């Protein structure tokens, strides 16, 4: 005859099930070790390993945790935060769900977590706004306040880095150097740029020219090789002198440094959040750089017209070097105005030459050959 008391106890519990029949995995929340355990469902959920109770969870404290389909993953608000049960047996999982009245209730402190998330989002938005507006404003205001002597020292450091990157291969054939110096002096005087602004040609196939903080200008041999006339090259050099005159190199240095400081201060390194800021910065910087490029193009127009030459060849030159850019989806992130738009602007300022060429034919030929080693025979 069955004892009624024992029958009642049997109805109220599930005996321990071997892991082989009903796999249950337990993580105790203090280590990463996953343990195979058994469950005994009596007045509470008892977790057993080797017939010993290693943890005991009140049903009212058990909550559902995120988990893959087909697995009941549970946690306990009165156990270590990272403690978990993973139950794959559907029957055992259903019985546990039946006994847990608050299985799908919100976790204690959930509102606090949402508050933290909300403040984190607000902080992220505030930093993005600072990157987009405050830092550029500060860069524009700080740049004129920094003495030119300090900018020159910064430029000297940048100049050393350039020489390291390009192995210090500066082109210096005597006749070519003389022609280049003559052209630069003419452009400096017309643009009202400090005569201490230095320039050189680097032996490299890159078709580009750059202006460093402090006034150093580098023209790469690849760009010089593509130039078909003195006016084409002169327009590019006048453009770089515009960057020197406007101190764009120093301004960008302050802007990039301030943005990197904010990212490093808040996130330490490139994380998902700082990547968002980085992307925002790059998009805005492209716009900011386009404005600087347009201002430098204005210098080209003013200098070339003052010298009695047309700025249009510079626009034609850039379009020939870059090719057509419209329709390539680059307008948003491009750091310079599209070459087609620049040519249109330069064409609107086109004039018939009213002064002699900036270099003679012999000087232009010498400049084109500035990177060639003189024949010593």
Q: Residue 15 is part of a domain; what is its CATH number?
A: 2.30.29.30
Clarify whether residues 25 and 163 are in a common domain: no
pLDDT-derived band of residue 292, with 50, 70 and 90 as boundaries?
A: confident
Q: What is the chain's percent helix, strand, coil content, to nearest 5?
A: 55, 10, 35
| Mean pLDDT computed over 269-291 | 48
Clarify whether residues 229 and 279 are in a common domain: yes
- Residues forming beta bridges with residue 87, ordered by sequence position: 24, 72
Clarify whether residues 72 and 176 are in a common domain: no
* Structural domain includes residue 373: no
The string of DSSP letters for 249-291 reads: HHHHHHHHHHHHHHHHHHHSS--HHHHHHHHHHHHHHHHHHHH
Clarify whether residues 351 and 213 are in a common domain: yes
Lowest mean per-residue pLDDT among 121-135, 200-214, 229-243: 121-135
Clarify whether residues 57 and 194 are in a common domain: no
Instruction: Please check the confidence at residue 172 and state whether its pLDDT lies above 90.
Output: no
Higher pLDDT, 219 or 69: 219
Clarify whether residues 181 and 311 are in a common domain: yes
Higher pLDDT, 242 or 9: 242
Task: Tally Cβ neighbours within 10 Å of residue 90.
Answer: 12
Clarify whether residues 90 and 130 are in a common domain: no
Clarify whether residues 296 and 349 are in a common domain: yes
Give CA–CA dist 240/157, Å, rounded: 19
pLDDT recorded at residue 364: 97
* Structural domain includes residue 311: yes
Give CA–CA dist 206/221, Å, rounded: 7
Clarify whether residues 138 and 273 are in a common domain: yes
Instruction: Please answer whether residues 70 and 88 qualify as being in contact, where contact means their C-beta atoms are separated by less than 8 angstroms.
Output: yes
- Residues forming beta bridges with residue 278, ordered by sequence position: none
pLDDT recorded at residue 277: 42
| Mean pLDDT computed over 64-75 | 88
pLDDT-derived band of residue 311, with 50, 70 and 90 as boundaries?
A: very high
Instruction: Please answer whether residues 200 and 170 qualify as being in contact, where contact means their C-beta atoms are separated by less than 8 angstroms.
Output: yes
* Structural domain includes residue 304: yes
* Structural domain includes residue 243: yes
Clarify whether residues 284 and 361 are in a common domain: yes
Choose among 261, 285, 284: nearest CA to 274. 261
| Mean pLDDT computed over 240-256 | 83
* Structural domain includes residue 105: no
DSSP class of residue 61 equals G
Instruction: Please answer whether residues 292 and 245 qualify as being in contact, where contact means their C-beta atoms are separated by less than 8 angstroms.
Output: no
Give CA–CA dist 177/370, Å, rounded: 7
* Structural domain includes residue 114: no
Clarify whether residues 58 and 131 are in a common domain: no
With residue 140 as reference, give the H or E element that holds it. Answer: helix 135-142
Backbone angles phi, psi at 339, to 5 degrees: -60, -35
In our burial notation (b when 16+ CB lie closer than 10 A, e otherwise), range 70-88 reads eebbbbbbebeeebbbbbe
Q: What is the mean pLDDT of the chain?
A: 79
Domain count, the chain: 2
Question: 262-279 pLDDT, tens per residue?
Answer: 555 555 544 444 444 444
Distance of CA 36 to the CA centre of its chain: 46
What the block records as the tokens of 322 is 């870059």
* Structural domain includes residue 119: no
Instruction: Please check the confidence at residue 205 and state whether its pLDDT lies above 70.
Output: yes
59-63-66 Cα angle (round to 5): 150
Q: Give me the helix-helix angle, 361-368 and 174-191, nearest 10°.
A: 110
- The parent domain of residue 350 ranges over 125-368
Question: 87-139 pLDDT, tens per residue?
Answer: 999 889 999 999 999 998 876 655 545 665 676 677 677 777 776 667 777 77
pLDDT recorded at residue 197: 64
Task: Tally Cβ neighbours within 10 Å of residue 176.
Answer: 22
Question: 324-355 pLDDT, tens per residue?
Answer: 766 554 444 455 678 898 999 999 999 999 99
Task: Tally Cβ neighbours within 10 Å of residue 317.
Answer: 23
Give CA–CA dist 259/278, Å, rounded: 8
What the block records as the tokens of 218 is 């580098």
Instruction: Please check the confidence at residue 51 and state whether its pLDDT lies above 80.
Output: yes
* Structural domain includes residue 83: yes
pLDDT recorded at residue 162: 78
**DSSP helix/strand/coil, 324:** coil
pLDDT-derived band of residue 68, with 50, 70 and 90 as boundaries?
A: confident
Give CA–CA dist 240/246, Å, rounded: 10
What the block records as the tokens of 100 is 């847990």
Choose among 370, 358, 321, 299: nearest CA to 223. 321
Give the CB-side neighbour count of residue 161, counting CA atoms within 13 A. 8
pLDDT recorded at residue 270: 43
Higher pLDDT, 235 or 149: 235
pLDDT recorded at residue 265: 52
What the block records as the tokens of 174 is 């005597």
Clarify whether residues 133 and 62 are in a common domain: no
């Amino acid at each position: 005859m069955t004892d009624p008391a024992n029958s009642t106890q049997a109805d109220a519990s599930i005996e321990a099930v071997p892991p082989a029949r009903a796999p249950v995995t337990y993580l105790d929340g203090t280590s990463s070790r996953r343990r195979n355990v058994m469950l005994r469902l009596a007045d509470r959920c008892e977790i057993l390993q080797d017939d010993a109770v290693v943890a005991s969870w009140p049903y009212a404290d058990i909550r559902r945790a995120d988990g893959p389909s087909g697995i009941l993953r549970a946690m306990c608000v009165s156990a270590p935060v990272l403690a978990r049960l993973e139950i794959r047996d559907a029957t055992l999982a259903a019985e546990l769900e039946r006994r847990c009245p608050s299985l799908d209730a919100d976790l204690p402190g959930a509102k606090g977590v949402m508050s933290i998330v909300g403040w984190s989002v607000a902080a992220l938005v505030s930093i993005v706004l600072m990157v987009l507006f405050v830092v550029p404003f500060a860069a524009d205001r700080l740049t004129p306040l920094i003495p030119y002597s300090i900018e020159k020292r910064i430029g000297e450091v940048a100049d050393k880095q350039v020489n390291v990157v390009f192995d210090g291969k500066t082109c210096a054939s005597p006749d070519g150097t003389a022609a280049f110096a003559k052209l630069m002096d003419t452009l400096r005087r017309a643009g009202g740029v400090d005569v201490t602004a230095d320039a050189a040609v680097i032996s490299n196939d890159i078709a580009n020219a750059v202006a460093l903080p402090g006034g150093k200008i580098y023209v790469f041999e690849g760009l010089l090789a593509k130039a078909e006339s003195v006016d084409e090259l002169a327009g590019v050099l006048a453009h770089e002198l515009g960057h020197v005159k406007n101190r764009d190199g120093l301004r960008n240095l302050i802007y990039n440094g301030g943005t990197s400081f904010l990212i490093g201060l808040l996130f330490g390194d490139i994380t998902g959040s700082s990547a968002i800021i980085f992307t925002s910065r790059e998009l805005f910087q492209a716009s900011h750089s386009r404005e600087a490029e347009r201002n430098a193009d204005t210098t080209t127009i003013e200098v070339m017209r003052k010298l009695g030459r047309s700025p249009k060849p510079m626009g034609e030159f850039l379009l020939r070097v870059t090719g057509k850019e419209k329709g390539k989806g680059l307008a948003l992130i491009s750091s310079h105005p599209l070459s087609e738009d620049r040519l249109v602007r330069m064409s609107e300022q086109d004039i018939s030459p009213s002064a002699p060429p900036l270099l003679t034919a012999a000087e232009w030929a010498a400049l084109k050959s500035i990177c060639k080693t003189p024949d010593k025979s």
